[in-house]
Structure 1
Amino acid sequence: MDPSQSLVSIHYAIKKETWRRTVVLSFQSLGVVYGRLSTTPLYAFGSIDPCHIKSGQQIYELFSFVFWTLTIIPLLKYAFIVFKADDNGEGGTFALYSLLCRRANVGLLPSDTSATELMHLEEGTPSKMKAESRARRAIGRYKSSHYLLLLLALLGSCLIICDGIFTPALSVYSATSNLRRSLSKFAPRFTSSENARQSVDKYLKRFIPVPVACAILVCLFMLQRYGTNRIGVIFAPIVIVWLVFTSGFGLYNIIHHPQILWAISPTYMFRFIKKIDMTSLKLLSNIVLCIAGSEAMFADLGHFSKRSIKVTFIFLVYPSLVLCYAGQAAFFSQHLGSSDDVAHLSESVTHRHLQHIFTILSLFASLVGSQATITASFSIINQCQALACFPRVKVIHTSDKVRGQVYVPDANWMLMILSLSILIGFRDISAIANATGLAVICGMLVTTCLMSLIIALQWEKNVAFLSVLFLLFFGSIEALYLSSCFLNFTKGAWCIVVLSLIFMTIMVSWHYGTIKKYEFDVENRVTVDWLTDLSPGLGVSRVPGIGFIHTNIVTGIPSFFSHFITNLPAFHQLLILLSFKSLPVAYIPKNERYLIGRIGHKEYKIYRCIVRYGYRDHVRDVNDFEDQIISSIGEFITREERHDELLIMQEGRMIILGTNGNALVPIVGGESCQQVTDIENQNPNYRKRKKVRFLLPESSPQMNSSVRKELEELVEARESGTAYFLGHSHLKIRKGSNLLKQFLVMAYDFLDRNCRETPIGLDIPHAALLEVGMVYTI
C-alpha cells in the first residue's frame, strides 16, 4: 500500500456507513449532540428582563436576529463549511490545530526527525505537495506565529471546558425555575389570602430551584460513566418529544399571530442596529444563547459521523427551533407587560394542564441539554492530553465501534463540582446566562480564526480571498455579539475569564514542562557506545529477560538509564528502548503504528521501538501491548536483511511494522504466572497474567540460520521475564531564571506530582517496575 494513501484508506474504512447506520447515529446524536441546541429556548428569551424591552416591535427585531443567527452560524458556518475541515472524521479546536500543524509546520510538540519524515510520507512527500503559498511560508517561518496558534487552540479548548461547566447549571436551573412557577400556580387553590400566597411563592423560590437543580446535576454527571452510546439511546426519545412539543406550540402561536413571520426579513435587524444603544446592545448577549451548542456539533463529530449530525440538524433540529422561537416571540410580543415571567418559554404554552406536562418535560430536556457540552469537554480533554497540553488523566473508550466516544472520570467529577459551585454561588439565571454567552461566542471566534487559516493553507485551490471573506463575514457577526457580552462583564461574565485563565495556566504550564523535560533528555542522552564500551570496566552483567526502557527521546540512551547503570551495573540480556510519540492526527493505522530499529551491533541485542498514536487512538492493555511489541520485533528481525544494510549499524533507520506479523507464532494458554526478573536482588518475582507464549514457525528455506537463532534468543528472553524502567523526574529551577519561568516550572511540578501516574496506559505490576529518580535542572 502506498504510504501516502494509508490514512485516507483507514478513514474511509472507519467512516463508511450505510443509510441504516446513518439513521441509527442520527437518532443517538439527538440525545448527545443536539440536546444543548434544542433546549436553548428555555433561556434565550427567558434570561431577558422584560423591563428592558421597549415595545413589541423590538421583540420582532430580536426574533429576526434569532432566525438569521441560527441560519448563518450553525447551518451555514458549521454544517456546510467547518465540517469540511474535519481531521479524518474528528472535530473540535484541536482537530483544526492538528491540521495546521501538518500543513503549515507550526507544531510545538516534542518530536523527532524520523517521525516527522514519516508523517510527510503519510500526508504526501514534499515533491508531491503543491508549491507553498506565501501565507504558509510566513506562518512556518516565524516562531511567534507558532506560539500564537497554540495559545489560540488552548483558548478554544478552555472555552469548551468552561461551556461544559456553565451549560449544565444554566439549563437545569432554567428547568427548575419552570417547576417553581408551575407549583406557585397551585397556591390560589389552597388559600385565598394574598399574604399566604406570597409566603408560599417565597418559600418555593428559596427551596425549589437550587436544591432540585443540584440533585439533577449530580444524577446527570453520575450517568456519564455509562458512555455516549447508552446515554444517546436513553436521551434521544426525550429530545424528539421535546422538539415536537415545543415546535407544535410554536406553530400554534404562529397561527394565532402570523405577523411574526414578517420578522424573518433582515430589515428588522437593520432597524434594530440603526437605533441601537447600550441597553439594546446588552439584549444581544441573551440572543446569542440561541446558538449555544453549535460548537458542540463540531467538537462531538468523532462520537458519531459527519453525515448523521448534518442530516439531523437540517431536517429536524433547525426547523423545530425556528418554529419554537417564532411562536415564543409572537406570544411575548402580544403579552408584553402582563407579568414578570412572560419571556419564559413555559408562558407561551397557553393550556394550563399542558403547562405542567411542559414543566416535567423541560426537567428531562435540561438533562439532555447539558450532555453535548459534557461529551465535548471529554473529547477536547482527551485531545489536549494526547498532544501534551493537559495533565495525565484516565480516558475510557466506551465504544468499540465508534472510537471517538470517550469518558474521562477525573474531568467528569471536576465539571460536576465546578458546575454545582457556579449554581450555588450565583443563584441567578441572568448571571449564569451572561457567562455562558461569553464562553459560546469566544469559542466560535476561535473556530472562525482557525478555520480561515485552514481555508488558506489546506484547501487545494488558491482561495486566499475566500479565507479573508470567511473571517470578515462570520467574524463581524460574532464580534457584534462579543461586544454585547462584554457589556455584562461585571454581571457574571467575569467568571468565564477567571476560569479560562486557570485552565490556560494549567495547559500552558504542562506544555512548557513537557517541552523542557524533552529538551533536557535530548541534551543529556548518551550514545550506545558509552553503554557497550563502559560495561566491561564497570563489570556490568547481563541478566536473563527483557528490559523495557521507557523514554521520550528516539536517539541515544536516556540519561536516567545511564545513571542506573552507573550505580547498579546490571541490565537484561535484551533491551527494548520504548518511546510513545503522539502525532497531530486523529488515528494511526495498526499496520503503521510501530517503528522498529536496532541500536548498535547484533550482539548487543538492543532494539528501539517507537509507538505512534493519534489523539483519538485507544489506550492499549498491558498484556496485549507487550505481546504486540515482541511480535513486531520478531517481524523486524525477519525483514531486516531485506532492507538496506545501514539498518544494522545506523541509528534512526527504522522499519514501519504493524501488529499482525507472522515471524513468531503466539500460543494463548491459561492464566499462569510469568516470572519477572528483579535485577537488583537477582530474585524472581511472579505476577498472574493471561500467558501468551511465542513459538518459532517450522523451518523453511527462506529463514536464515542467524535469523532463527536471534528469534530463539528473543523467545528465551521473553520466557525469562520482563522488567520496565521508568524515569522519575524531579524538576529544579536554574538560578537566575525569571519569575514567569519559575512559576511555570513550579506549576508543572505540582501538577506532575498530583495527577495520575505515567500516561503509558500499561498496568505494570509493581514487581516488574523500576523507577529511576533524576533531577532535571530547567
Structure 2
Amino acid sequence: MAEPQKTSSNGAAEGGANSTFASEKVPLPPRRLQRCDSLHMEAGKIPGGQSYAAKQVGWVTTLSLAFQSLGVVYGDMGTSPLYVFSSTFTDGITDTDDLLGVMSLIIYTVALLPLMKYCFVVLRANDNGDGGTFALYSLISRYARISLIPNQQAEDAMVSHYKLESPSNRVKRAHWIKEKMESSPKFKVTLFLVTILATSMVIGDGVLTPCISVLSAVGGIKQSAKSLTEGQIAGIAIGILIVLFLVQRFGTDKVGYTFGPVILTWFILIAGIGVYNLVKHDIGILKAFNPKYIVDYFQRNGKDGWISLGGVILCITGTEAMFADLGHFNVRAVQIGFSVALLPSVLLAYLGQAAYLRIYPEHVADTFYKSIPGPLYWPTFVVAVAAAIIASQAMISGAFAIIAQSQILGCFPRVRIIHTSKKFHGQVYIPEINYALMILCVAVTAIFKTTDKIGNAYGIAVVFVMFITTLLVTLVMAMIWKTSLLWIALFPIIFGGAELIYLSSAFYKFTQGGYLPLGFAAVLMLIMGTWHYVHVHRYKYELKNKVSNNYVAELATRRNLARLPGIGFLYSELVQGIPPILPHLVEKVPSIHSVLVIISIKYLPISNIETNERFLFRYVEPREYRVFRCVVRYGYNNKVEDPREFENLLIGHLKQFIHQVSLYSESSHSIGEEDNSIKESESSVEVQDARLPRSFSDGITASPPNGCMDEIELIQREMDDGVVHLLGEINVVAERNASFVKKIIVDYVYNFMRKNFRQPGKITCVPHNRLLRVGMTYEI
C-alpha cells in the first residue's frame, strides 16, 4: 500500500484512484472502470471529506476568544516586567542615559519579533489551526516524504484536514526543494533533530517559567517584610510551586475561566502604574522611540551593551506561546489579544519603570515593586502572584501537550495521558511528567534562590526555540507557500539575524546558569532520539519480515488449526502487510479466532481526524476465512477511546465496510455484464471514475444483499461471544554484529526506558481482563 497504482501480489491496485463520492446519482458511462483497492474504497466514503475551507468565525466569537487568550497565551509575556530591568542591569546603572538605549531596545525587540514576525507571518504557518514546532514539522512532512517511519499511504491524503496539493501543480523551485529533501537521509535526520531540540527547549521552559515568574512575583514581599532573607523568599516560592503542581491533576479547564479576568486586571494595573510613573518622574523617556538611542547605547557601552542583551530578550519570553497555543483560538483572536491588550500594557509598564529609574537608578534590583504607588502595593502584589501562577500554568500545560504529541508520534516513551477537558482536546495531564517538573522546579529555585541566573538560562531557551521556528517557517515559505525569493531571503536574514545576536549574548552567560536549558534539552533529546531510533528500526524490521499474503490461505488448508469463538483484535504498528507476530502466535497457540482483525494504530501528521475518517479496512484472502486488516488513524491531538467505545466503533465500521464491499461488488458485477472488457479480481472492487450513486455512499440506505447480511449477523454473534485483545510484547535487542554504540543504545538505554516507563497495555485502549500478551524478540 505504499505507492499509487502499484499492483500488490494479489493483483489489486494499491491506492490508485481518488474515490471521493459524488453528491448525487450519476449515470455510469460505458467505458473501462478504474480499479481501486478496498482500503481505498473505505477511505473515500467520507461525507463532505473534500471541504477544506476554514470555518468563518464571527466578530463576537473572535473577541470572546481574544479575551480568553489573555490568560492562556499572554500570561508569560505579560509578567516579564517583573524582572527585565533587574536582569539587564545586573551590575547596577552607571549612566541614566543607558535607560533610553535599553528602553529603545525593548520597544523595537517587541515590535520586530512578537509583532512583525509572529503576528504577521508565523501565525499563518499553522497546521489546520494548530501551531508549535511539531505542527510545523507535521505540515512540512505532508508536503514531502521526510518521515523516518515508512508508513505513508495514498489514502491518508484524502483525510479532510490534509490539504495537499498535487506535486505536478507546484512551481519548479518548490518541487526541486521537495525532491532534495526526500532524497537526503541526512536532511531528514537533521530536520527531526532540530524539531525535537525545539520541543525539548519548550519543555525546559516548563521548568524555568514557574521558577522565574513565581520567584520574581513573591520577591516583592521584601518591600513590606524587609527581614526576610533570600532563602526564606525562595522557600515561599517553593511552597507556591508545590501547590501549583499538586493541583495540575484537576486540569486547567476547571480554573480557566478565571485566567482571562486576572490577566486583564494585571494588564490594567501595570499600564496604569506605568502611566503614573511616566507622568510623575520623567516623561522624556518617550524619546526612546527614536532608534538612535540604541546606537548611542552600544557606542557608549561596547561589550557590556552586547552582554546586557541577554536580559533585554526576557521582554519577549512567552512569545512562542502565541503560536504553540493557537489551536485553542484562531489567528485573528491571538492578533487582537496581542495588539490591543498586551502590547500597549507592557510598553507602558516598561516606560514607567524606565522613567522611575531615571530618578532612582539605585532601585534597579527591585524596580517593579519600588515603582508602585503605596496604596496599590498589596493589590498589585496579590495580582502579580496570581499572574505568575497563570503564566506558569500555561507553560506546564504546554509541556504536557508537547509530550503527548511526542509520544503518539513515536518520539517519547509511554506515559499515562489523562484528558482533563471535554471542551479542549489539547488539555492533558501526565502524572509522571508533572512530578518530574515539580522536582526540577523546586531544585532550581532552591539552588539559585534569585532570578538572575534563572534569567540567564531562560533567555537561551526562549531565543533558541524562536530561531528554530524561523528556520522551519522559511522552509514553509519556500516549499509550501512558494513565496518570492526576496521575501524568503529577508525573513531569516532580518528575524534570524536578530535572534542570533540575542542568542550569542545569552550564551555569554553560559556558566552563570545558561547551561540549564541545554542540560534539560540534552537529556530530553537523548530520551526522544533513542526512543524514536528504535521505534523506526522496529517498524523496518516488521516491514522486512512481514508475512506473505498467501499465509492466511495456507492457514485455511490446515485441518489441525482450531477456530475459537469470538473476535480477536491483533495489534501491530505495521500498515503495509501482515505482521510477523501472527505466525508466531499461531505457532505457539495453534488456533485462531472465528473473526480476526489485524489492527494498526497510526498517527497522521495532522492534529485531528474525524471519527468517520478513522477506520480503513480490507479483506485478507480468502474472504470466507474472515480475517481483516484495519488501519485506525488518529491525529496527534485525538483522544483514544475507552475500550468499550473503541470496540463498538470498530465493529460498527467493519459492518459498514462489509456492506459497502457487497454493494460495490453487486454494482461491478452488473456493469461487467454490459462491458466484457471489465474483469473483477477477488480482492479488488470496481468504481467508475471515483463517482458512485449516492445510495452507495450513504451506506445503510440501500438494501444489502443476503450474503452481506449473513456475514454481518455472524460478526455480531461473534462479538456477543466476546472480544479478545492480542498485544505483541516485543523485546528489541541489537543484532550480534552491531556496533558498540548501537548495542549501548538498544540493549541498555532503550530497554531501560521500556522497562521503567508504562507498558503498552496500560496506555492503549486494551482492557486488562481480555488481554493476551504475545512475546517476541526482534534483532535490529
Letter in 1 for 2:495: F
Deviates more, 1:557-566 or 1:30-39: 557-566
Aligned match of 2:207: 165
Change beyond 3 A, Cα 1:643–1:24: same
Aligned match of 1:458: 480
| Residue 557 of structure 2 is aligned to residue 517 of structure 1 | no
| Aligned residues of 2:414 and 2:763 also touching (Cα < 8 A) | no
Aligned match of 1:545: 566
Change beyond 3 A, Cα 1:84–1:467: same
Aligned match of 1:758: 760
Shift of 1:452: 0.7
Shift of 1:433: 0.6
| Aligned residues of 1:597 and 1:653 also touching (Cα < 8 A) | no
| Aligned residues of 1:730 and 1:774 also touching (Cα < 8 A) | yes
Aligned match of 1:418: 440
| Aligned residues of 1:602 and 1:648 also touching (Cα < 8 A) | no
| Aligned residues of 1:31 and 1:371 also touching (Cα < 8 A) | no
Alignment of 1:59-78 (within 5 A): 59-78=99-118
Deviates more, 1:544-553 or 1:399-408: 399-408
Shift of 1:164: 1.0
Shift of 1:401: 3.4
Aligned match of 1:617: 638
Structure 1 spans left out of the alignment, 5+ residues: 185-200, 665-696
Shift of 1:366: 1.3
Aligned match of 1:29: 69
Letter in 2 for 1:770: L
Question: Would you say how many aligned residue pairs link Structure 1 and Structure 2?
Answer: 716
Among candidates 331, 356, 360, match of residue 378 of structure 2:
356
Shift of 1:581: 1.0
Distance 1:294 1:278 in 2: 27
| Residue 593 of structure 2 is aligned to residue 592 of structure 1 | no
Change beyond 3 A, Cα 1:71–1:6: farther
| Aligned residues of 1:728 and 1:773 also touching (Cα < 8 A) | yes
Distance 2:257 2:239 in 1: 22
Alignment of 1:654-669 (within 5 A): none
Name the Cα RMSD after superposition. Answer: 2.7
Shift of 1:172: 0.6
Change beyond 3 A, Cα 1:549–1:497: same
Among candidates 338, 346, 351, match of residue 369 of structure 2:
346
Distance 1:613 1:389 in 2: 16
Alignment of 1:732-751 (within 5 A): 732-745=733-746, 746-751=748-753
Among candidates 213, 217, 220, match of residue 175 of structure 1:
217
**What per-residue deviation string (whole Å, max 9, x for no partner) do you get for residues 454-475 of structure 1?**
111111x442321121000001
Aligned match of 1:104: 144
Normalising by structure 2, we get a TM-score of: 0.87
Aligned match of 2:233: 209
Alignment of 1:244-255 (within 5 A): 244-255=268-279
Shift of 1:61: 0.3
Aligned match of 2:674: none
| Residue 123 of structure 2 is aligned to residue 123 of structure 1 | no
**What per-residue deviation string (whole Å, max 9, x for no partner) do you get for residues 366-397 of structure 1?**
11221221222122222212211112223333
**What per-residue deviation string (whole Å, max 9, x for no partner) do you get for residues 605-645 of structure 1?**
01111111111112212111111111111111111134477
Shift of 1:323: 0.3
Letter in 1 for 2:430: V
Change beyond 3 A, Cα 1:304–1:653: farther
Change beyond 3 A, Cα 1:592–1:124: farther
Structure 2 SS opposite 1:133: helix
Aligned match of 1:492: 513
Change beyond 3 A, Cα 1:453–1:114: closer
| Aligned residues of 2:230 and 2:450 also touching (Cα < 8 A) | no
Change beyond 3 A, Cα 1:207–1:113: closer
Change beyond 3 A, Cα 1:146–1:541: same
| Aligned residues of 1:620 and 1:762 also touching (Cα < 8 A) | no
Q: How much identity, in percent, do the aligned residues show?
A: 33
Shift of 1:599: 0.5
**What per-residue deviation string (whole Å, max 9, x for no partner) do you get for residues 209-239 of structure 1?**
1111011112222333333333321222221
Shift of 1:356: 3.3
| Aligned residues of 1:28 and 1:229 also touching (Cα < 8 A) | no
| Aligned residues of 2:571 and 2:728 also touching (Cα < 8 A) | yes
Change beyond 3 A, Cα 1:618–1:651: farther
**What per-residue deviation string (whole Å, max 9, x for no partner) do you get for residues 707-741 of structure 1?**
11111211111111110111101111212322332
| Aligned residues of 1:44 and 1:286 also touching (Cα < 8 A) | yes
Normalising by structure 1, we get a TM-score of: 0.87
Aligned match of 1:93: 133
Shift of 1:253: 1.4
Structure 2 SS opposite 1:45: helix
Change beyond 3 A, Cα 1:520–1:133: closer
Aligned match of 1:151: 193
Deviates more, 1:444-453 or 1:746-755: 746-755
Aligned match of 1:383: 405
Change beyond 3 A, Cα 1:11–1:45: farther
| Aligned residues of 1:180 and 1:208 also touching (Cα < 8 A) | no
Distance 1:614 1:88 in 2: 11
| Residue 577 of structure 2 is aligned to residue 575 of structure 1 | no
Aligned match of 2:35: none
Shift of 1:65: 0.6
Distance 1:276 1:443 in 2: 28
| Residue 661 of structure 2 is aligned to residue 640 of structure 1 | yes
| Aligned residues of 1:11 and 1:88 also touching (Cα < 8 A) | no
Aligned match of 1:39: 79
**What per-residue deviation string (whole Å, max 9, x for no partner) do you get for residues 537-580 of structure 1?**
57111011100010111243322221111121011011101111
Distance 1:224 1:653 in 2: 53
Aligned match of 2:6: none
Distance 1:148 1:592 in 2: 32
Shift of 1:8: 7.1
Shift of 1:409: 3.0
Aligned match of 1:223: 247
| Residue 178 of structure 2 is aligned to residue 136 of structure 1 | yes
Structure 1 SS opposite 2:251: helix
Distance 2:58 2:435 in 1: 37
Shift of 1:647: 9.0
